[in-house]
Structure 1
């Protein structure tokens, strides 16, 4: 009976994805901080502290989700999100803004592993986990369209009053809380597929969610030690996404420096997310043609090439064009890489291990975002980016080669079994 009841999770999750990703300040939060008088160095420090909280809280909140329920974790995230939005309205100095952003970081950690894990376990409970890649691509598409619309809406609201942006965020968190309340927590079921390696991991992870903190940490370390493919793909995604997200944020300032106003910047980000949504929706079709190894190579190399060209652009047309092309490669990879990681993780520790991946992204963001911002205070933002790329591009190429080879070997071995 419970299985039938939590079937409604799927349509509710699509609603949650739309509302939860309607982030009014996504395309303009750096401009909000600039309007408050913060320098790029201060903004870089604030963003680094944001990701430091992510880094520290990711695994504990993932453990909370595995022990007390993914739904409980998502409900808590919305309550904290309301508090963060209200605080941002009231804050007027660096310390107040930093504290409000720290609360926003907790929202991210409470949702990061729990949301995807709840959706995957819902499908698994219905015997439909094989449809996850396709449905996750659709969810990614919905999220990107929502962010696109919200980017334009946020830009328009910001031109009126910044308080409207964050009052709207508080309202959206409240609506999300109600949607999540209607969901059911799916039962954790053993994996039924005839895969000896996966079933062995399921047996090892049995009871993981009931272990004390020290026991869970040992379980995480043990899992990563046994599953090198998970570790390598996580590092690959973390280094790539950290640069992609940093560029996405700093592009707000770059576009402003070349003469675009808040409304136009919001429109560009909105159009970029719609474009990304179309790519994400059909990403699984591209994977059928390229395979997993080809998907990893094409996504990473395409992004690296466009990023290098973006870093040397001085005009609006060139900068916007390569900004869109970078989004093409990243948005096509995101739902697929998430699927690969899900397939590698046993159910009892799913939210925790996805939080480990998010923690890796936060660690990379702390370095990438901070270094770009600090260098930008001493030279131009474009010069800062060009300097960073001299180190990042060869590093990313090496990581991509290792990740593609590891993924190919792992799934070839599974196909033989």
Structure 2
């Protein structure tokens, strides 16, 4: 059990450091891009290149995690994010053209794909190896609380630092914290319950892992429907989060109040903390995990419509709180569901493929909604986004129809 506690402490510490580092820019990233001379459509095109990078590299980096090891993948991701963040700062200083931002954003997407799947797969495999008795949802919920706390601190601090200095300083602080994260992961992270397969050549390993990920992903009906819902949910969610930065400033009436942009990210973080604490109670409200996912999806789409419809700052904030609570409370249930229908050997790659599907939606949805914002304003973009997100509901209903064992919540 001492080994299990070490695994959980390592997971929580890495979650704290990586989220704190990342969140320094989450509250101001869109403002940073607009300050660099980009239009709304161009700014969200840059974000789309980030998600395009995730689409391109999710499977290859998932293969890295499933063949070289989860620790190796995590360290590569941290190093890539550190370098690409510093490139972002350099391009902001020289007001680089769109193609330069595109390349840098793809690199950031590459960095995050080394994380996605690998961290969660490392945790699940290690806890299974240690024979931990509690539910994975409980551990993931604690991780969500830590992540929300780090995001709350980082996003507010990033907004305040930008207000007191300039929009580039939070990116420098992010790079410093990523260096600390890499050092901690190098010392503390060990692959337990998983032995990387290094006997075959790279192409053979790719074919083997990709074939397994397809068999247990898109060809696996319980996982398939959640993956097909991801483009509609994630594509809109990414746009909705980053568009809040200029939109809330517009509703507030002061386009230079950067702390308001940080507040938007802090609200989401606070909801993650609250939802993480509420997960045990929320589980008791549902007999199936897909029921919780359906409820969260309907609530979230409705809240997006309210944000787009209102002209009042505080009404938008309340809708943001409700939406963030619903999504955050359902996230550990989705993670537990997917992990329950995926075998260990393909876990990192299949989880990465799920992220790939969400990123693919973001490649199309973000620039499209950015263009809607340029033409009709942010309110119109949120209303269109609500309709797109609601399109995920039929896929969740199909997942519910599969009645997978992992769908049922044990009381």
Q: Do they fold alike, i.e. is TM over 0.5?
A: yes
Aligned equivalents of 1:179, 1:249: Cα separation in 2: 29
Aligned equivalents of 1:412, 1:362: Cα separation in 2: 25
Matches within 5 A, 1:24-35: 24-35=24-35
> 1:38 is matched with which residue?
38
Give 1:7 deviation, angstroms: 5.4
Give 1:129 deviation, angstroms: 6.6
Aligned equivalents of 1:9, 1:287: Cα separation in 2: 25
> 1:324 is matched with which residue?
321
> 2:277 is matched with which residue?
281
> 1:198 is matched with which residue?
none
Give 1:208 deviation, angstroms: 10
> Are 1:114 and 2:118 counterparts?
yes
For these two proteins, the number of residue pairs brought into alignment is 394
Q: Which residue of 239, 244, 260 corresponds with 1:246?
A: 239
Give deviations 1:179-206, integer Å, cap 9, x for gaps: 11122111328xxxxxxxxxxxxxxx9x
> 1:232 is matched with which residue?
225
Give deviations 1:352-382, integer Å, cap 9, x for gaps: 0100000001011112212101222222221
RMSD across aligned positions (CA): 2.4
Gaps of 5+ in 2: none
> 1:104 is matched with which residue?
108
Q: CA distance change for structure 1 residues 187 and 263 in 2, over 3 Å: closer, same or farther?
A: same
Aligned equivalents of 2:63, 2:214: Cα separation in 1: 14
Give deviations 1:126-175, integer Å, cap 9, x for gaps: 11275211010110111011111101100011121223211101111111
Contact 2:301 2:386 in 1 (8 A): no
Contact 1:28 1:262 in 2 (8 A): yes
Contact 1:55 1:360 in 2 (8 A): yes
Q: TM-score, normalised by structure 2?
A: 0.89
Contact 1:58 1:356 in 2 (8 A): yes
Contact 2:81 2:108 in 1 (8 A): yes
Q: Which residue of 5, 8, 30 corresponds with 2:6?
A: 8
Q: CA distance change for structure 1 residues 413 and 313 in 2, over 3 Å: closer, same or farther?
A: closer
Q: CA distance change for structure 1 residues 145 and 37 in 2, over 3 Å: closer, same or farther?
A: same
Contact 1:58 1:109 in 2 (8 A): yes
Aligned equivalents of 1:175, 1:412: Cα separation in 2: 37
Contact 2:4 2:127 in 1 (8 A): no
Give 1:9 deviation, angstroms: 2.6
> Are 1:384 and 2:391 counterparts?
no
Aligned equivalents of 2:191, 2:401: Cα separation in 1: 37
Q: TM-score, normalised by structure 1?
A: 0.88
